[in-house]
Amino acid sequence: AQKVTQAQTEISVVEKEDVTLDCVYETRDTTYYLFWYKQPPSGELVFLIRRNSFDEQNEISGRYSWNFQKSTSSFNFTITASQVVDSAVYFCALMYNQGGKLIFGQGTELSVKP
């Protein structure tokens, strides 16, 4: 089965705290792609990162970092020094064939309070 699980439904932090959003995926395929999207209150899905299954290097982009571990089928997302503007729903997604559909997790609603 192809599946993405985001066990954390809601997370609330105070500004400047670090926060990690968990993502666990299931797939039988050896080649696949993992994504994170942000959905602010306006509703539009904003692409954050794509990772293919052959690239296990962790990535950092400003305050955002991603930890991909094939051994545990996880692709976690950390926001360092969170800000109020980071408040949104974050989705992890799996694509198991190039150009195919995205399979989304349930999403994690992050609330950053001042």
Partner 1 sequence: EAGVAQSPRYKIIEKRQSVAFWCNPISGHATLYWYQQILGQGPKLLIQFQNNGVVDDSQLPKDRFSAERLKGVDSTLKIQPAKLEDSAVYLCASSSPLGLAGYEQFFGPGTRLTVL
Nearer to partner 1, 82 or 108 (CB): 108
Letter string b/e over residues 22-48, b meaning 16 or more CB atoms within 10 A of that residue's CB: bbbbebeeeebbbbbbbeeeeeeeeeb
| Nearest distance, CB of residue 49 and partner 1, angstroms | 10
Number of residues in contact with partner 1 under rule CB under 8 A: 23
Site residues for partner 1, 82-111, by CB under 8 A, read 91, 93, 95, 98-102, 104-107
Burial of 94 (0-12, 13-18, 19+ CB in 10 A): buried
Element holding 37 (H helix, E strand): strand 33-39
* Bridge partners of residue 69, in order along the sequence: 74
CB of 8 or CB of 80, closer to partner 1: 8
Pattern of binders to partner 1 over 8-47, x per CB under 8 A?
-------------------------x-x-x----xxxxxx
Which chain residues interact with partner 1 by CB under 8 A? 4, 33, 35, 37, 42-47, 50, 91, 93, 95, 98-102, 104-107
